[in-house]
Amino acid sequence: MNDFFKLTASDVDFYYGDFKALKNVSLNFIEKEVMALIGPSGCGKSTFLRCINRMNDLISGTRVDGSIVLDNVDIYNDRIDVVNLRKKVGMVFQKPNPFPKSIFENVAYGLRVNGIRDKNAIAGMVEKSLIQAALFDEVKDRLKDSALGLSGGQQQRLCIARALAVEPEILLMDEPASALDPIATQKIEELIHQLKKDYTIIIVTHNMQQAARVSDKTAFFYMGELVEVNKTDTLFTKPEKIQTEEYITGRFG
Amino acid sequence: MIFNRKTTEKTVHSMFFLITTVSLTVLSLIMLFLFTESIPLFETVSIKDFLFGEFWYPTDEPAEFGILSLIIGSLYVTIISSVIAIPLGLMTAIYLAEIASERMAEIVKPIVEMLASLPSIVIGFFGMVVISPLLQETFDVPIGLNLFNASLMLAFMIIPTICSLSEDAIHSVPVALKEASLALGATHLETIIKVVIPASISGICTAVILGMSRAIGETMVVLMIAGGAAMIPTSIFDPVRPMPASIAAEMAETPFGGEHYHALFATGLVLFIFTLMFNMVAAYISNKYRQVGEASL
């Protein structure tokens, strides 16, 4: 175990019933770095991401072996409170999934469930989070309007603001731009650049150019195994493994 | 060939149109009949005396046709049965949709739906034979066939309706919304209360109102166990005479075409207006709060 790493996954195996979706994955994350997880569909990258905030707990018949250690605490320890873990590890999903509430209430939701009652504090945090997510200027005059009236890209930034409001330390992003058009995607990518000053970000993406643009490190998954992890520049220019090279040059996947 | 296909299509379309027309025509004729048979009453009794008259003495000389006590009887059984059935039905629905394990839900759901198929006469019989003596003993009331007994039995009749429709609504809340809530550090309970229920509120309201409309229109249970006294109740252990019970009990006894006969049709019309209002409110709510669901792009 190394204090240097914010998050350490060691020998993680993951099962959906009898199907082994992750095989012996070990991966370390440094604080305030962006790690991209790439690989073909079904390679286990999203499954791995969802192990980090224990979102897979919701699926019955799943099992995790190995350990994932966050700030020197094993998050699969029985005494861990999943609710606290999820406050520390925020998540942005593939499809924008705002609540059918107002823009303001969407961002305030996480604060309210975490016991913050002070109205001024909530208003301040909501504004701060919306500014952080580069959405505030677009919505400041209609915070009371339904979030469902926003465009897809705005909704996704709202979901990012919502995750940031809880002040997590790690931000998990599961293909956050895959449902968005190129302009909205660019905004999300710019946002990731801003956010990495304060957060450790782990992003799953199908888009290799995106991985190359936003991440410091990239991990390539294939068939449930971690094939290769390296600095993004190195991985994309001088991959060590033949599978990585074939994937990034588009020969399969 | 092409010509033949077109002809077949047209024939099928006309057939469906014809069948639809037949069903709608029959329904409208029934409604028309209800109106035409009610109207003659108002030649002798004013609408105000009919709706707000306290005394229902249809066979006296002179007869009195005030259905206020019948309307109040209907409203009371509906309200009290709803007060019992809504929390029970809703909580069962939440349990089945959100909390119970898949296996548990698989076992319990069919049982709830089976309850919905219990014939109302069986429920009425149960209320008469089991609940009525029980009430007399427990609460020391003179009559076991009363407002409370009828409401209780009606509640058990409408719980399956409320439960099963709410369960569908709750179940259809997108997983993405629940995940979003949990990922923000909300507990399962907070997620249910603050996300799942608000997202399915239109379906839940519809379920509740349809359940209530079933309760107000139900005949056999109230005929058997509401007690049948046309009076405005002062306690929940007083007997009442809801509108459907009055119609069912008296229709066979009354001379065709007489004042009493028309008064019963007019009562049916009032009942129809009530259930129509319930259904319209249900339709309005489900439109207004229609679940927009997962974000669309």
pLDDT, tens digit, for every residue of A110-135?
Answer: 999 998 999 999 999 999 999 999 99
Interchain CB distance below 8 Å, B184 and A98: no
Beta-sheet pairing, A89-92 with A170-174: parallel
Mention every residue, 6+ apart, whose C-beta is less than 8 A from residue A56: A14, A47, A50, A62, A64
- How far is B9 from B15, CA to CA, in rounded Å? 10
A1, pLDDT greater than 50: no
The Cα B203–Cα B205 span in angstroms is 5
Minimal Cα distance from B198: which residue of A? A100
Strands A200-204, A170-174: pairing is parallel
| CB-CB contact of B170 with B97 (8 Å) | yes
**Are A99 and B293 a contacting pair at CB < 8 A?**
no
Instruction: Please check whether residue A25 is in contact with residue A9, taking contact to mean a CB–CB distance below 8 angstroms.
Output: yes
Q: At what angle do helices B68-94 and B243-251 cross, to 10 degrees?
A: 120
Is the model's pLDDT at A162 over the cut of 60?
A: yes
pLDDT of residue B257: 87
Nearest one of A158, A218, A162 to A35, comparing CA atoms: A218
Kindly report the average pLDDT of chain A as a whole number.
Answer: 92
Query: Distance, in angstroms, between B42 CA and closest chain A CA?
Result: 50
Asked if the peptide bond before residue B62 counts as cis, ω within 30 degrees of 0, the response is yes
Interacting residues of B221 by C-beta distance below 8 A, sequence separation 6+: B120, B123, B124, B127, B150, B153, B154, B157
Which pLDDT value is given to residue A156?
A: 94
Residues of A in contact with B186 (CB under 8 A): 83, 109-110, 113
Structure tokens at A216: 């410091």
User: How confident is the prediction along chain B (297 residues), in pLDDT tens digits per residue?
Assistant: 567 888 999 999 999 999 999 999 999 999 999 999 999 999 999 999 999 999 999 888 888 999 999 999 999 999 999 999 999 999 999 999 999 988 999 999 999 988 888 999 999 999 999 999 999 999 999 889 999 999 999 999 999 999 999 999 999 999 999 999 999 999 999 999 999 999 998 899 999 999 999 999 999 999 999 999 999 999 999 999 999 999 999 998 898 888 999 999 999 999 999 999 999 998 888 787 664 544 333
Asked if residue B73 lies in contact with residue B150, where contact means CB atoms within 8 angstroms, the answer is no
Q: How much of chain A, in percent, has pLDDT values that exceed 90?
A: 82
Query: What is the structure's pLDDT at A3?
Result: 57
Please name the residues in contact with A196: beta carbons below 8 A apart, sequence gap of 6 or more: A32, A33, A34, A216
Going from the C-alpha of B62 to that of each of B45, B58, B138, the distances in angstroms are 12, 9, 41
Backbone angles phi, psi at A241, to 5 degrees: -100, 145
Determine the average pLDDT of the residues in A182-203. 92
Q: Bridge-partner residues for A247, per DSSP? A: none
Distance from CA of A152 to the nearest CA of B (A): 5
Inter-chain Cβ pairs, chain A and chain B, closer than 8 A: 88
Q: Chain A contacts of B194, Cβ < 8 Å? A: 109, 112-113
Q: Using the beta-carbon criterion (under 8 Å), do A90 and B184 form an inter-chain contact?
A: yes
Q: How far is A249 from chain B (nearest CA, A)?
A: 31
Give the per-residue pLDDT at B159: 95
Structure tokens at A180: 């968005």
The pLDDT value recorded for residue B1 is 59
Residues of A in contact with B184 (CB under 8 A): 86-87, 90, 109-110, 113, 162-163, 166
Interchain contact, B180 vs A101, CB within 8 Å: no
And the tokens for A35?
């790690």
**Residue A87 tokens, joined:** 């406050």
pTM: 0.83
Q: Which residues of B touch A (CB under 8 A)?
A: 101-102, 174, 176-187, 190, 194-195, 198-199, 291-297
**Which residues of chain A are within 8 Å of residue B290 when distances are taken between CB atoms?**
none
β-bridge pairing B64-65 and A73-74: unpaired
Binary contact (A99, B180; C-beta < 8 A):
yes
% of chain A at pLDDT higher than 70:
98
Name the burial class of residue A196, with classes exposed (0-12), middle (13-18) and buried (19+) by CB atoms within 10 angstroms of its CB. middle
Judged by CB atoms closer than 8 Å, whether chains meet at B184 and A53 is answered as no
Per-residue pLDDT at B293: 43
State which residue of chain A sits closest to B174, comparing Cα positions.
Answer: A97
pLDDT score at B2: 63
- Can you give the pLDDT at residue B290? 61
